[in-house]
Amino acid sequence: MMQTKEAYRGTGIGVIFMAFFGTLWAGIGVMGLQEWGFPYVELAAILVGFLLLIGGISLLHAAQEMPHQITGKLKRIRFWFNIVFIAEGLLIGAAIAICNATHQTDLIPGVIAIIVGLHFLPLASLFQIKLYYLTGTLLCSLALITLLAAPSAFMLGGHEITAKLSLLGFGCALILWSTGLTLMLRVKNATGSVGHTEDHPS
């Protein structure tokens, strides 16, 4: 992995995104629990998101020590990233409007998860991060399984659990958190490999 300010900064921002949106999805999962496990599940989700957030911030801090490199390729990547991000937002807005208009509001979380999953596919090609193909595929698969096969609710410890919300929320959170952690470990390992090579030249 190229050790530049842009590479570290991009990875740091990616990890922060995974931490933030993963925690939001965990919040949806918590809603489905209907106060079961309160407040421990909530605190655990917040802690995981916070730790990953700190990891992303540490990469941004490390980026300040890296050489700066702006190229035409990087500008192109930023342009298409913005296009993908805007398209994702427009599709989510349209999906919410359609679900509300057709009185199918229970489909909103699943449809959003599919759109989020699909948006990782062009990003995988754009950033040359094959992991994003897996992330996108897992998100879409989880959403489809939840929409088509998961039960609406079940009882757990005297509480009625909204199964679809819990499965989708916590599932998406784990996928995004795992993606963020993997990105962080990869850039850390790449740094270690570079340092090892410089200390022990062949």
Domain span holding position 129: 5-195
The pLDDT of residue 4: 67
The pLDDT of residue 141: 98
In a domain, 200, yes or no: no
In a domain, 121, yes or no: yes
In a domain, 59, yes or no: yes
In a domain, 88, yes or no: yes
The pLDDT of residue 70: 58
Q: Note the helical H segments in 102-161.
A: 108-127, 131-149
In a domain, 31, yes or no: yes
In a domain, 202, yes or no: no
The pLDDT of residue 179: 97
Q: Which of 4-18, 105-119, 184-198 has maximum average pLDDT?
A: 105-119
What value, to the nearest 5°, has the Cα angle with vertex 11 and ends 49 and 46? 5
The pLDDT of residue 196: 45
Is pLDDT of 98 > 50? yes
In a domain, 158, yes or no: yes
How far apart, in Å, are the Cα atoms of 112 and each of 47, 71, 139, 175? 25, 34, 10, 15
Residue range 26-51, pLDDT digits in tens: 999 999 998 887 899 999 999 999 99
What value, to the nearest 5°, has the Cα angle with vertex 181 and ends 191 and 67? 30
In a domain, 201, yes or no: no
The pLDDT of residue 74: 77
Is pLDDT of 69 > 70? no
Domain count, the chain: 1
The pLDDT of residue 201: 41
Q: What pTM value is reported for the model?
A: 0.87
